[in-house]
Amino acid sequence: MRPASILSLLLIAFCFHGTAVVADESDKPFAEAHVVLQVADGDDETQARALSVANNLIKHYGGPDFVDIEIVAYGPGLSLLYPDNPNQDRISSLVSNAVRFAGCLNTVATIERTTGKKPELIAATIPVQTGVARIVELAQQGYVVIRP
């Protein structure tokens, strides 16, 4: 095999490997539990409940190093990640405790197409193309899916 072909194969393998790593962004080797919280509801009370569940899990497991949490917001639940969401202080606290927040780009595109304006999301948002697919990926990796 020619050196250029080998290099191409290595690059392809690296790209696929990189994709797999992106699917699990957790860097918590001591985590006893891996949880994904699904937020698809725009109701403030429901969103606050999801944040409470994340906070309670951190307390239950004895700190953020012992539980891996990702909150995935899509559909009306994407409003959780708007800068003017009333839960911003709680979200900031959870981000500082290594809770990840993923936002669905399909929902962003739908909102932009419908309203003519692209919604702004908080800086901590991890963009994912499809929120539901992200939940499926995490479930396949062993995460427990919870819909508060």
- Alpha-helical (H) ranges within the chain are 3-23, 44-60, 88-96, 105-115, 131-140
Place of tokens 């936002």: 103
Two tokens at 85?
């969401």
Residue 120 lies in a domain: yes
- Looking at residue 20, its pLDDT comes to 31
Of 98, 99, 103, 97, which is closest to residue 134 (Cα–Cα)? Answer: 103
CB 34 within 8 Å of CB 142: yes
Task: Find the domain containing 44 and state its range.
Answer: 29-146
Residue 17 lies in a domain: no
* Tens-binned pLDDT, residue by residue, of the chain (148 aa): 444 433 333 333 333 333 333 334 458 999 999 999 999 999 999 999 999 999 999 999 999 999 999 999 999 999 999 999 999 999 999 999 999 999 999 999 999 999 999 999 999 999 999 999 999 999 999 999 999 9
Of 138, 119, 140, 25, which is closest to residue 77 (Cα–Cα)? Answer: 119
- Looking at residue 48, its pLDDT comes to 97
- Looking at residue 23, its pLDDT comes to 37
- Looking at residue 27, its pLDDT comes to 81
- Looking at residue 26, its pLDDT comes to 56
Residue 33 lies in a domain: yes
Of 75, 78, 71, 80, which is closest to residue 101 (Cα–Cα)? Answer: 71
Of 79, 72, 77, which is closest to residue 37 (Cα–Cα)? Answer: 72
Residue 24 lies in a domain: no
> What CATH number is associated with residue 109?
3.40.1260.10
